[in-house]
A = this chain, B = another copy of it.
Amino acid sequence: MAFTVRWKKDMLFEGETPDGNKALMDTSKEHGGSNSAATPMQLVLLALGGCTGMDVIAILKKMKDLPEEFFMEIDAERAEDHPKIYKKTTIRYVFRGNLKEENVKKAIELSQNKYCSVSAILKGVGEVNYTYEIRR
């Protein structure tokens, strides 16, 4: 079963997964869109966060050391020339809770070095770096 991405109007596209989950994509007014949804390249960065975030939560859950709160801040620098890939991406992992630092460190390392497919894809064309912070 295939994924479908359908042109709706202007620069608005609707993607649909084989099991019917949907995501809209649009672009800025400057590029003919309405800025009503994330752009495709923005979606790739959000996917990077979701991918490594799910790994980290799954690993911390196995360690019985889940945070009370967890989010990531992601920044990326694009190449100047077309096709303007992400040449340098930085993820800042922020946790709140009474977590063991060694668990957090191990969970992030396992995701970044072994499991996270989106990160591995981005590393094919650029750098992916990270930092982490545990707020008590």
Residue numbers of A with Cβ under 8 A of B are 2-7, 11, 13, 15-17, 19, 21-23, 25-27, 31-33, 35-51, 53-54, 57-58, 61, 67, 69-76, 78, 82-86, 92, 114-122, 124-125
Interface of A is mostly: mixed
A23-B23, A46-B3 known; A83+B115 contact, CB < 8 A: yes
A84-B117, A119-B83 known; A43+B46 contact, CB < 8 A: yes
Q: Are B47 and A117 in contact (CB under 8 A)?
A: no
The complex places the Cα of A70 from the Cα of B8 at a distance, in Å, of 8
A54 to chain B, nearest CB (A): 5
The complex places the Cα of A54 from the Cα of B42 at a distance, in Å, of 14
